[in-house]
Amino acid sequence: MALGALLLQLAHPWVAAAIAEHSRTFDDPIGRFHRTFGVVFSMVFGSLDQAVAAAWRLHRRHAAIRGHLPMAVGPFAAGSRYQANEIEALRWVHATLTETAVLAHDLVLEPLGHAERERYYGESKLFAALFGIPRGCLPADWKAFATYNETMWKSDTLTVSPAACEIAQRLLSGAGTWLCPPQWYRALTAHLLPPRLRQGFGLRYGSGTLCGPLSGGYGAAVRKGTTGSSDPGTESILDWTATPGMTRRSRQASRRTDIRPPETAPLGTGIPVICWRRHR
């Protein structure tokens, strides 16, 4: 679900401008991938010394990323200043990673309960601190965090700029690299975006596409569960993401009994740790 989180981040004009003007993503996409997850994995799975060292490297890198918006976007005037270490921008990036990890988990495994979500969010605050976000600048609990996300989705603070569109299209098409996201992954990415942002990025999602009809709201079908959903779009996505050769009934049975997270941590942040604890 990394691409879905990245598109949510790109919807913030500051993030899109910073990537467009300062990132080497398209010059060296594989190297950028390794550098990014090297930092993230050090923070999440490393020793205290490794996590702090990675956080300092990230902070120094972000300190050099600053500039001015080349055009007016949403509530931000042309020429307005942005910087990567600004708390509002960091908070939004952290929120996208935290929320998307839960959506990814709930799409393929039994959804986390309220207590588990609270615990997960509480643990994510340590990750936020390593990003440089003071605890007092974060929503207090999971309910407040969900409210913050919903407010951001509806706010014009998130406005898809031309720069964000261009970056998204290059990522979705695999431009400059042999890594081209498969159609089912692009469809799932579109499904996980709020409708307003999905349209802003020009992502096809509706009757006649892999996703099927539009769902009722962002992540609604995902949060309701999995195969019990009446949303045809969600059903088609689950068909495409399932293991080849498995029937729907066997997938349901495997979810209840046999599925276990791998010994090695998959790509993501704190959620793999929680998945493993849930099934020990």
Report the alpha-carbon distance of residue 85 to residue 49 in Å, rounded: 22
Residue 190: give the domain boundaries.
2-278
* Alpha-carbon dihedral angle through residues 204, 238, 265, 16, given to the nearest 10 degrees: 10
> Which one-letter amino acid corresponds to residue 116?
E
Q: Which residue has the tokens 């600048």?
A: 137
Q: What is the pLDDT of residue 246?
A: 36
Pick from 161, 144, 130: which is nearest to 44 by CA? 130
Distance CA 101, CA 117 (A): 11
Beta partners for residue 83, in sequence order: 66
pLDDT at 22: 92
Name residues whose C-beta falls within 8 Å of residue 46's C-beta, 6 or more positions apart in sequence: 54
Record the tokens describing residue 15, joined without a space. Answer: 């993030």
- Predicted pLDDT at 268: 35
d(CA 274, CA 4): 21
Query: What are the φ/ψ torsions at residue 81 (nearest 5 degrees)?
Result: -85, 145
Total number of domains constituting the chain: 1
* Contact present, 207 and 236 (Cβ < 8 Å): no
Q: What is the DSSP string of 209-227?
A: STT-SPPSSTTHHHHH-ST
Name which of 219, 159, 148 is nearest 1 in CA terms. 219
Per-residue pLDDT tens digits for 59-96 = 999 999 999 999 999 999 999 999 999 999 999 999 99
Structure tokens at 169: 């299209």
Low-confidence ranges of the chain (pLDDT < 70): 1, 176-177, 206-280
Do 102 and 145 touch, CB atoms closer than 8 A? no
Quote the crossing angle between the two packed helices 87-108 and 232-241, to the nearest 10°: 80
For residue 26, what are the contacts with CB-CB under 8 A and spacing of at least 6?
170, 175, 176
Spatial distance between the Cα atoms of 96 and 160, rounded to a whole number of angstroms: 15
CB neighbours of 258 closer than 8 A, spacing ≥ 6? none
What is the C-alpha R_g of the chain?
A: 19
Query: Within a 10 A sphere around the Cβ of 30, how many other Cβ atoms?
Result: 10
